[in-house]
Structure 1
Amino acid sequence: MFKFTGKILSLTAAALMVSTAVSSAQNLDELIAAAKAEGTLTTVALPHSWCNYGEVISSFKEKYGIEVNELNPDAGSADEIEAIKANKGNTGPQAPDVIDVGYAFGPSAKAEGLTQPYKVSTWDTIPNEVKDPEGHWYGDYYGVLAFMVNTDIVKNVPKDWSDLLKPEYANSVALSGNPLGDNQAILAVQAAGLAAGAASGAPAAEAGLKYFAELNKAGNFVPVTARTGTLAQGATPIVVYWDYNALSGKDELKDNPPVEVVVPASGVIAGVYVQAISAYAPHPNAAKLWMEHLYSDEGQLLWLKGYCHPIRFNDLAKNGKIPQDLLDKMPPAAAYEKAVFPTLEEQAAAKEVISKDWSGVVGANVQ
């Protein structure tokens, strides 16, 4: 088991100023009333297939009767931050209320004054290592990077990063984002560096850039933002993807084409994503209620249903709240034994190297 090492409202003033931590049923009722009065929640970068977000969103709408305005589902973490910056004075439909971003983006967004604090009622069950003490951001789920392989096209399924350099994988390997700003892609570069024997952080970033330069020079790298659809079409037969995206994509395709999901033998890197509320959220109470939904037992199990390890996984397991059928659908525990969880400092150092040197070292413009 993983262990961490991180509309104007006509309401009363009390309802408008809901506490930063919901500590009682009465306070929760006040929050629900305030959120319903706002009537809308605006999200960004939440594909329905990612961590079962489709069901997470629909259950929120059904439970509270609040509309969800979904912006740019395929955006990356950097795009989410820019969406807040670009809409600071905008209370219209293009201003996101909440963001779900890579671990390193949480502290940086707080430092730039882009988030506001809120502690959910289950705050104490979120590990301290992955939450801001003031409540500006907190971990939501995690997974490991894996290879999603279209076995209609790729007959010899790669088992490790070094395999991807073989001539048989020409024009086959793609990332699920642009390493200049997408958290998943940035961590993929680091994972390749770890597989080459480099230490986590800047060394892994440097080694990972050299690896992708070699992969590109060999003609194996496909410089497009890959998804389950591009894999199924044969444009990107091998996609470096979060395990939960790959597994949910496999379910979605229903063996058309057949897919194999492989956690590599080395360079297994785990990534924690975090939630935050925009400092400029047009619907702050709906945003807080959204957080309550996500961090409730119900919300956490909906993420697990989408193959994501929810951040409260240990607490739920300890209290016997995880159905066995959900556990049985996950990869075996042994697949995660070598997983490396980079610290915030290591991620920040690696991100700086990769964003600065990707174009010059790798020479591939991911579209």
Structure 2
Amino acid sequence: MTVRTCAAAAAILASAGCGASSTESTPKNLPPVNVQASSLKSGFATMDRLVEAAKREGQLNVIGLPRDWVNYGEVIDTFADKYGLKVNELEPGASSKRELDAAAQLKPDVFDLTLDMAVQKAGSFAPYKVQGWQDLPDDVKDPSGAWYAAYGGYMSIGYDPHAVKPPASFADLLKPGYRVALDGDPLRSASGFGGVMAASMRSGVPHPEQGVALFAKLKQAGQLTEPAKANVIVAWDHLNAARSAAKPEDWKVTIPRDAPLGGYHVQAINKAAPHPAAARLWQEFLFSDEGQNLLQKGWARPARGEAMLMKGTLDTEQAGKMPKAPGPPVLMTIPQADAAKAYLKKEWPKSVG
């Protein structure tokens, strides 16, 4: 992902085996169903025919979808009830890398991945362009349809307002009284890595050494701790917003003006999906107005949000409750992320441990 295309996508976050046969007896003037098709129009002609093909398969295998992550529990249940399909939830806690590493063994139909992992493994996915394809910015979708962003968010600082003053920047976390936690190990967790990168931002450019240095100082001062003991948690804003929604007086969320780091999670269909029609139906549902609003209900920022706002289909009441963004996000390029990961792999164990 380039700097130029990163800028194009920023507006979205700121705004709010046992499969069916490839042919069947078809109505007059409609082509045969092709469950491996790259679009609804080319493979099914209508949503009804896609639904019929998915129902014949009877089930869908998802992986790496915790039910408390961006409202996926309600998303999965709504999809299952709407279409009468059984959803098999494989390894809900799997990381993006684990999802891909386990694909041959567990046989998921679909993936939910960080952008960098999707780019690396694009050849493993079956191209498919959902009906809302044109609503997605060019830089958060593969031109061939191999992967495409469903939702995104900002890296944020969540804090206990009874214990500390609202931090205006990451530098404020070095002040006495702040007990700070990352949302995971930055060498293994995308959220933990994003926290270090947000702290590293200077004029929209990541400087990994500065992010590591800040957390090293926190560690040396005895202020770096685990989430259960923290009065500050650095995490994606949808995670901190969910905490705040549960206890609005006890947890607040801020996105520092000097470090508006953003990120997307993208969707992809397994090229070896055992239920290819159900996989395509899942994508159509996730990117429908209903699916996108359900993700926003989980405090994620829907990838089609800007277009839905213009069309009047976005849940504006929920959008108004989202943590306030200071402006368009900074989206790291793949080379920037790769360089930062290499630096952290070498320096984090020595400096922070």
Please indicate the TM-score interval, normalised by the length of the shorter structure. Answer: 0.7 to 0.9
1:136 to 1:356, Cα distance in 2 relative to 1, 3 A: farther
Distance of 1:75 and 1:252 partners within structure 2:
25
Counterpart check, 1:240 vs 2:238: no
State the Cα distance separating 1:209 from its structure 2 match.
1.6
Aligned to 1:145: 155
Report the RMSD for the aligned CA atoms in angstroms.
Answer: 2.4
Aligned to 1:105: 117
Aligned to 2:205: 200
Match of 1:8 among 18, 21, 24: 18
State the Cα distance separating 1:3 from its structure 2 match.
4.5
CA contact (8 A) 2:241 2:299 kept: yes
1:79 to 1:178, Cα distance in 2 relative to 1, 3 A: farther
Q: Per-residue displacement from partner, 1:224-257 (whole Å, max 9, x unpaired)? A: 4x4xxx3xxxx233211111121122223465xx
1:308 to 1:9, Cα distance in 2 relative to 1, 3 A: closer
State the Cα distance separating 1:309 from its structure 2 match.
1.4
Distance of 1:280 and 1:9 partners within structure 2:
11
Aligned to 1:185: 192
Distance of 1:247 and 1:43 partners within structure 2:
25
Aligned to 1:45: 64
State the Cα distance separating 1:107 from its structure 2 match.
0.5
Distance of 2:241 and 2:248 partners within structure 1:
11
CA contact (8 A) 1:126 1:139 kept: yes
Distance of 1:29 and 1:76 partners within structure 2:
34
TM value normalised by structure 1: 0.82
User: Please, which runs of 5 or more residues in structure 2 have no aligned partner?
Assistant: 1-6, 24-31
State the Cα distance separating 1:73 from its structure 2 match.
2.7
Amino acid at match of 1:252: A
Q: Per-residue displacement from partner, 1:318-344 (whole Å, max 9, x unpaired)? A: 112223312321233xx3316312223
Give SS of 1:167's match: coil
Q: Per-residue displacement from partner, 1:287-337 (whole Å, max 9, x unpaired)? A: 1111000111111111222222111111111112223312321233xx331
Distance of 1:27 and 1:138 partners within structure 2:
21
CA contact (8 A) 2:65 2:89 kept: yes
Distance of 2:240 and 2:64 partners within structure 1:
17
1:302 to 1:10, Cα distance in 2 relative to 1, 3 A: closer
Amino acid at match of 1:200: V
User: Please, which runs of 5 or more residues in structure 1 have no aligned partner?
Assistant: none
Match of 1:318 among 300, 307, 310: 310
1:177 to 1:319, Cα distance in 2 relative to 1, 3 A: same
Aligned to 2:246: 252
Q: Deviating runs (4+, > 6 A) in structure 1? A: none
Sequence identity (%) = 35
TM value normalised by structure 2: 0.85
Give SS of 1:42's match: strand
Amino acid at match of 1:298: E
Counterpart check, 1:210 vs 2:213: yes
CA contact (8 A) 1:115 1:278 kept: yes
Q: Per-residue displacement from partner, 1:63-82 (whole Å, max 9, x unpaired)? A: 11111122333333233232
State the Cα distance separating 1:135 from its structure 2 match.
0.9
State the Cα distance separating 1:12 from its structure 2 match.
4.9
Match of 1:166 among 167, 175, 182: 175
CA contact (8 A) 1:78 1:181 kept: no
Q: What is the aligned length?
A: 333
Aligned to 1:21: 39
Distance of 2:272 and 2:302 partners within structure 1:
27
